[in-house]
Structure 1
Amino acid sequence: MTKYRSTYQRISRRELYSPRSVAAITLAILVIFACLWLMIEIVLNLLGQPGLLAAPADMAGAVAGASSAPSVLVGGLGLTGALIGLLLLVVAVTPGRRSRHLLETERTATIVDNEVIASALAREAARVAELAPDNARVTVTPHSATVHLTPTSGTAIDQQAVLTAVREQINAFGLLRSLHAKVVVVSTGRVGG
């Protein structure tokens, strides 16, 4: 059993976290377009034609003349560049999280989608609150589950009983990372819901 533990951990990690392929491909496409634009500007300049946006000599002059530009403008451009670089660094280093949870099991890696958890919690909340299934909506995030209940007009919902039932249901799932449960009852009810 223990010899498969690392395999299950690797599979679980692959299923819980998404690669940053989309961000890398998007950034590569933007860099390719910027290089193509610069190449077209240089070729047009060599042919004696006017540039699409700016001639290479004008761009070089603007960069060389940055010291004479207002310091607020230069500082703003520098800060913008630093923030973009920091954002790209954060995207590159942090893993993307898929909307899934891992169940505690000894023999296999069991992954459950957040929508499955939300559906089960909504069904349980609607049963305890004695509501129609359409009147219970659940949002599941990596750390919490929020139950939104819309009561039938004129009826009261025991919010604490629903919260207890939802917590028991979460504990029954056996999630590796437990969810914080919260119940929100909408102040306006539905007629004949």
Structure 2
Amino acid sequence: MTDTVLRTVVRRETHSPRTVAMLVVVLLTLLVLAYAVVEIVLALLGRQPLLVSPGAALNAVVEAPTALQPVAFIVGGIVLALVGLIVLILALKPGRLSRHEMAWGDRAVVVDNGVVASALAQHLSNESGIARDDIVVGVAHRTVDVTVRPPVGIPVDEAQLRRIVDEEISTYKLSPAVRTQLRVQRPDTKES
């Protein structure tokens, strides 16, 4: 595989498509159009409108500049601008899947964050002697959060645990890089 093909595959595996956001916008647009069609058909059949007849809606739009205060237009424009900005951000900002790229020799491997968390917790358990059940690891896009809950009476060297975690994470060569946070939580202390 060429480098560009490999980069494309890795990007597709680590970023989510914007299909859901696009689908929501399309469905909302279709609902508005369907409502307009229903109102037009009801008006053509001479029936009562669901909310407002097309003629009355058109008259309200034509008379709006003289009937409404300028403040209403400003507020309406701000609301429409915010909705447009949200849709634009959803369209342009890449979504992230819970995966990281991991360097493996001269190749790249896409690895799930849960796999990284499990491997790190097991390694920390093996190196520190703390039971695997007393270690909780969470991996996010830019951070690795490690919580160690040693049993009462077991001494723990927090600096050594941090060194073990940092060294192991550095061997994974994750992209994007992550920073680690370590907490030692005793059963008799509450987290604030």
What is the TM-score with the length of structure 1 in the denominator? 0.85
- What's the RMSD between the two structures over aligned residues? 2.3
Q: Secondary structure at the match of 2:183?
A: strand
Q: 1:123 to 1:189 in 2, by over 3 A?
A: farther
Distance in 1 separating the partners of 2:57 and 2:151:
66
SS at match of 1:50: coil
Q: CA deviation at 1:65?
A: 3.7
| Structure 2 residue matching 1:54: 3-state secondary structure | coil
Are the counterparts in 2 of residues 151 and 189 from structure 1 also a CA contact under 8 Å? no
Contact 2:137–2:145 (8 Å) recurs in 1: yes
1:133 deviates by: 2.0
State the shift of 1:130 in Å. Answer: 4.0
Residue in 1 that maps onto 2:146 = 147
1:86 corresponds to which residue?
Answer: 85
Q: Say if 1:66 and 1:74, in contact at 8 Å, map to a contact too.
A: no
Aligned ranges 1:93-172 → 2 under 5 Å: 93-128=92-127, 130-172=129-171
1:26 matched residue in structure 2: 24
Deviation at 1:17, TM superposition (A): 1.2
Residue 42 of structure 2 is matched in structure 1 by: 44
Shift of 1:111: 0.7
> How many aligned residue pairs are there?
188
Unaligned 5+ residue runs, structure 1? none
Structure 2 match to 1:74: 73
TM-score w.r.t. structure 2 length?
A: 0.85
The AA in structure 2 aligned to 1:34 is V
Closer, same or farther: CA 165–69 of 1 in aligned 2, 3 Å: same
Aligned-pair distance for 1:177? 3.0
Q: Give the share of equivalent positions with the same residue, in percent.
A: 31
Q: State how 1:179-190 maps to structure 2 within 5 Å.
A: 179-186=178-185, 188-189=187-188
Q: Structure 1 residues 138, 51: CA separation in 2 closer, same or farther (over 3 Å shift)? A: same
How far apart, in 1, do the equivalents of 2:49 and 2:171 lie? 67
Distance in structure 1 (CA, Å) of the matches to 2:151 and 2:105:
43
Ranges in structure 2 where 5+ consecutive residues have no aligned partner: none
Q: CA deviation at 1:35?
A: 0.5
Q: Any idea what the Cα deviations from partners look like across 1:104-158, whole Å, max 9, x if unmatched? A: 2355331111000111122233445543322222221121111122332454532
- Report the more deviating stretch, 18-27 or 64-73: 64-73
Q: CA deviation at 1:77?
A: 2.2
Go from structure 1 to structure 2 and tell me whether the alpha carbon gap of 1:47 and 1:111 turns closer, same or farther (over 3 Å shift). same
CA distance in 2, matches of 1:157, 1:75: 61
* Deviation at residue 26 of structure 1 after TM alignment: 1.9
Q: Is the 8 A contact 2:151 2:186 kept in 1?
A: no
Equivalent residues of 1:154, 1:189 under 8 A apart: no
Q: Measure, in 2, the Cα distance between the counterparts of 1:39 and 1:63.
A: 18
